[in-house]
Amino acid sequence: MNASVESMIHVSDELVFNLSNDSISYIFRVSPEGILEHIHFGSRVAPSSGLSAEPRRAFRCTVLEYQGVKNYNLDDTPQEYPLFGTSDMRHPALHLINAQGNTTNILLYKSHRISSDKPALNGLPSSRGGDSQTLVVCLVDTVSKLEVELNYTVYREHDVIARSSSIKNVGENAVCLKTAMSSALDLPQGDYELVHFRGSWAREFEQERMPMPHGRFAIESARGTSSNAHNPFLAVMNKGTDEQYGDVYATALMYSGNFAITAEKNEFESVRICAGINPFNFQWKLESGESFSTPESLQVFSAAGLGGMSQVWHAFIKQHVSPSQFKDVPRPTYLNSWEAAYFDVSHEVVLGLADQAKEMGAQMLVLDDGWFAGRNDDTTSLGDWFSDEKKFPQGVEETARQVKEKGLKFGLWFEPEMVNKESQLYRDHPEWLIQVPERTLSTGRGQNVLDLSRSDVVEYLFERVDSFLSSGLIDYVKWDINRVFSECGSLQLPAERQLEQPHRYMLGLYELVERITSKYPNVLFENCASGGNRFDLGMLRFMSQGWVSDMCDPVGRLSIINGASHLFPLSVLASYIGPVPNHQNGRVTSVKMRKEVGFFAAARGLSLNEDDLSADKKELQDAVALYNETAHDMVSGEFHRLRFTKNEVCWQLISQDKQRVYVGYYHILSSPNLPYRRIKLAGLAADETYRMVSTGATYGGDALTSLGIDLPHVDVVLHQQHSDNSDYMDEGDFSSRLMVFERV
């Protein structure tokens, strides 16, 4: 072990483990009984601080004493990986039916090791190590014959602790896992609030904030994808925390399937946050000698409010989660065929769109749905990943070649995990569907889900996608999934393993995307699931960006981007200017508003038909030119939320080199005689000077951050009398202003 390893993980003779970087610490200890007790997660506490490490033990009436140890009640003891069955009445991190048929298991400290190489997780995505150290703590249950390893990775540059666990059956008989969480965190008594993101199709990432109740609060998915109903993210924070102030403890899972993140406040008011695979409808048979690895859970602490928390996530995801080859690489602007032609695509249509893309100044043409064998609407052909011979007689590859000859990149849409019953694939392999015997299967968008827990399915899909990518003509893939799972089961699994199918599916999916994305590292992959129905760190570990929502009306999009930005950096967000009236909510907005809301994403483009493109040609060309000019700043810059109310949103991005600052201000419904608004910018150097590009006015960084700037005044009436004054926004409803500052 070298000196730098010791500098981040310190283990005292009394077995107090202190994982610290310059700003945060994660501390726990081994109790005299051998139980792993949690001590602290939060601002840095040096190993030498002389902290009193022992959780308090005091007499209470009616509570249990663990193994009869005086005043030692696990229900009131913060722990690292709690179990059920002795004196802790809360939901545990591990719940397992042992070979004796009971669920009383006790894990005691056995050993630990420290490594500067972050170990990969068995078949699951995990964050890259880099400048980090990993502590592995081994626990044993000699009666239930279990060995459990808890992994903790601490990063020097990021206030993140990455956690996972692995459970091994070292007995002779099988055991049955019911709950195997990735992490548990017991916070001390406090006045906490929760923030999480809920939603549905086309209204993903709506923020919900509430006081932490007594009892158990859960966000979860049992529908196969992590889902748009609840993103696998939960922040617990001190009451009153805002964008700048307050302690935040946030958890996000690197998992794309059935997950649960729970927060439980018990009678003694400590709060236990557990994150991992959803225990509901889950069971895993662990034979003698077998191990089970949990997904990775990432825990962030910020003492600087939700804004501070987001800065930690953004930097970490860019550095340790997103594929590194596209880090800081400007994303090409594009024209997508979906809202331009829907299923009516063909060689000629695509070449026509390519010409229009060129004329608009875009850099890529994306051929969305409708290009494969017999796909004329959404009722057929998923699974038959062969070019439609009528629409593309020489194959999609030839169309791609001709598009690229025009100087554009070429992108292609796939929905590999799905099958329509009206397809050759289904006729050949009805056994490849997720299904349970003797039940009529539910459908979603007329389609069924392929059983990726089967290696033959994974192999087929790899071969099909590979057959297109191997042409070397495809620069970008949009990987979609448009329904969730039902009647979950696999014809290949025995009865006692049927509940393993959803997690085995994820292992198959991760194997598939790992093989494809690693074989084609220069292809840009975009994760999509009817928009944000699987927008999570698991998929974004393989794919550089994601289609966060099908909602491309700018007003509908404001809260989606605002919500998503709590966890995700702009580098993983894709957006496009869509048609009006908007196809999802019928709203009519200006190109300006659509351009200026869509501005805050790394991957930007257009999804418009020929008429739309020619009607607003000049404005759209200007929009694409702006997107091209700012592409590098969007993928690499630092994003801040400045204001978010029902009627007003203000965002800011500072370029990586700190030379340019973009401020987007959006005002939804106008009214007369409004109060004047100011906004304080974030993250600027106090002693630098910035020039507002549109007016030429200069401001000190100190003034912009401490006094702020006047926001343009929304007033239709006054503006008519002062029409030369740029202090006004006169668009009425749905108005916006993008302000650009350059460092002088």
The residues annotated with a catalytic role in the active site are: 480, 550
Tally DSSP H helices, then E strands, for the chain: 16, 40
Contacting ligand GLA within 75-134 (CB under 6 A): none
Contact range with ligand GLA by CB under 6 A, out of 123-131, 178-186, 528-536, 615-623: 528-536
> Binding string to ligand GLA for residues 547 to 586, with x set by CB under 6 A, is what?
x--x------------------------------------
Nearest distance from C-beta of residue 631 to ligand GLA, angstroms: 21
Q: From CA 495, how far away is CA 742, in angstroms rounded?
A: 65
Among the listed residues 40, 48, 43, the one whose alpha carbon sits nearest the alpha carbon of residue 7: 48
Which of 528, 663, 711, 714 binds ligand GLA (CB under 6 A)? It is 528
| CB distance 27 to 44 below 8 Å | no
Contacting ligand GLA within 388-417 (CB under 6 A): 413
The residue whose two tokens read 């840095």 is: 44
Among the listed residues 208, 158, 172, 167, the one whose alpha carbon sits nearest the alpha carbon of residue 26: 158
* 156/583 with CB nearer ligand GLA: 583
* 343/462 with CB nearer ligand GLA: 343
* 161/551 with CB nearer ligand GLA: 551
Contacting ligand GLA within 347-376 (CB under 6 A): 368-369
Report CA 575 to chain centroid distance, whole Å.
16
Nearest distance from C-beta of residue 448 to ligand GLA, angstroms: 16
Q: From CA 415, how far away is CA 253, in angstroms rounded?
A: 24
**How would you class 645 by CB atoms within 10 Å of its CB: exposed for 0-12, middle for 13-18, buried for 19 or more?**
exposed
Which of 420, 530, 545, 571 binds ligand GLA (CB under 6 A)? It is 530
| CB distance 595 to 621 below 8 Å | no
Q: From CA 722, how far away is CA 595, in angstroms rounded?
A: 26
Residue 262 dihedral angles phi and psi, to the nearest 5°: -125, 150
> Binding string to ligand GLA for residues 599 to 638, with x set by CB under 6 A, is what?
----------------------------------------
Q: From CA 644, how far away is CA 596, in angstroms rounded?
A: 16
* 146/608 with CB nearer ligand GLA: 608
* 550/596 with CB nearer ligand GLA: 550
Other beta carbons within 10 Å of 467 = 12
| CB distance 573 to 604 below 8 Å | no
Among the listed residues 188, 186, 187, 184, the one whose alpha carbon sits nearest the alpha carbon of residue 81: 184
Contact range with ligand GLA by CB under 6 A, out of 272-280, 526-534, 651-659, 708-716: 526-534
Q: Find the helix packing angle between 617-629 and 591-598, rounded to 10°.
A: 20
Instruction: Determine if 385 is a binding residue for ligand GLA (CB under 6 A).
Output: no
Contact range with ligand GLA by CB under 6 A, out of 24-32, 524-532, 535-543, 671-679: 524-532
Nearest distance from C-beta of residue 257 to ligand GLA, angstroms: 19
Q: From CA 143, how far away is CA 284, in angstroms rounded?
A: 20
* 563/712 with CB nearer ligand GLA: 563
* 309/551 with CB nearer ligand GLA: 551
* 292/413 with CB nearer ligand GLA: 413
Length of the chain: 744
Contact range with ligand GLA by CB under 6 A, out of 422-430, 525-533, 553-561, 624-632: 525-533
Contacting ligand GLA within 450-509 (CB under 6 A): 480, 482
- Count of residues that interact with ligand GLA, criterion CB under 6 A: 11
The one-character DSSP state at 124 is B
Q: Is residue 81 classed as helix, strand or coil in its secondary structure? A: coil
Nearest distance from C-beta of residue 381 to ligand GLA, angstroms: 11
> By the criterion CB under 6 A, which residues form the site for ligand GLA?
338, 368-369, 413, 480, 482, 528, 530-531, 547, 550
